[in-house]
Chains A and B, each alone.
Chain A
Amino acid sequence: MRGVSLNILLAIVWTLFVGEFSLRELVIGMLLGFAILSIFPLSLGTGNYVGRALALVRFVLFFARELTVANIQVALWALRPRPPLHPMIIAYPLRLRGDNGQTVLAATITLMPGSVAMGFNPERSVLYAHVIGLESPGAARASLKKVEDALLPLYGQGVAPAPAALEENA
């Protein structure tokens, strides 16, 4: 939280410097502030903010690609004569813990190729999903695992290790 607020504060300071408060200058200020935070993570006490922000950007790009693939796939199935749906319901054992991460995971796989989230078990350790277009439950679990891997750096309970470039400054 400290990292985000410092970054926003630096962006506002930047708009004061250039004397123009606009969306464009705020974005430039955010990027410059992010550069400062990535150089001085220890003296500013922002922890792993930079690593998590980069993981977020990676996740958004991954998500955009998967959503596009999913749309083209389902659009083709809707148009072709006999779509190879092969529907099944699979159980996926979760490594991700915590409400926020599991909510984002369920929402993401609903927008991904072939899967719609259907529910959790009462212990919240298994996610049930309706899957179409894949041959076996194993293949479906492998595609869900890709999403969970992308989300673990953002919602994992342990602190992810800092990037190598930052270790050298320490």
Chain B
Amino acid sequence: MNDFNAARDIPILLGAFFVLTAAIGLIRFPDLYSRLHASSKLITLGSAGIFIGVGLEFAQTEALTRLAAVLLFQFLTTPLSAYLIAQAAYLRGLEPLLEGPDEWNALGKAALLDERLEETGGR
């Protein structure tokens, strides 16, 4: 158990820490929209740290190119799913817990929802 390798283990430990805080944030933040902040940002960098550590462990071209591809798609898909979850929740009328203004007001919300319902045929 003594084979601690700083270049490999520090990124993995940092990544694991961020994934852990993402889990804690998911439970502790007050509403869906705030929880999306924890899941989107922390999971992205957390898994990036773990992937980088794994890549340095193998240190071969094949492993590095595959991990680069995994990282790229992680960075492309995580924000997309956060965006879709936030938009779907808001347009379906889930009230956000706000202390500041809501500049995407109810009127615009209703108009967009009608448009969306027309597009999908009411589904």
Q: Residues of A at under 8 Å CB distance from B?
A: 22-23, 67-68, 70-71, 74-75, 77-79, 83, 85-91, 106-108, 110-112, 114, 116-119, 121-122, 128, 130-132, 136-137
How many Å from the CB of B28 to the closest CB on chain A?
A: 6
Q: Residues of B at under 8 Å CB distance from A?
A: 17-18, 21-22, 24-25, 28-31, 33-34, 36-38, 40-42, 44-46, 61, 64-65, 75-76, 78-80, 82-83, 86-87, 90-91, 96-104, 108, 111-112, 115
How many Å from the CB of B78 to the closest CB on chain A?
A: 8
Number of A-B contacts (CB under 8 A): 139
What residues of chain A lie closer than 8 Å to B24, measured between beta carbons?
Answer: 78-79
How many Å from the CB of A61 to the closest CB on chain B?
A: 15
Instruction: List 19 other contacts, CB 8 Å, given A23-B61, A118-B33.
Output: A22-B61, A71-B18, A78-B29, A85-B30, A87-B96, A87-B99, A89-B96, A89-B101, A107-B76, A107-B80, A110-B41, A110-B78, A111-B78, A116-B33, A117-B79, A118-B87, A119-B83, A130-B33, A132-B34
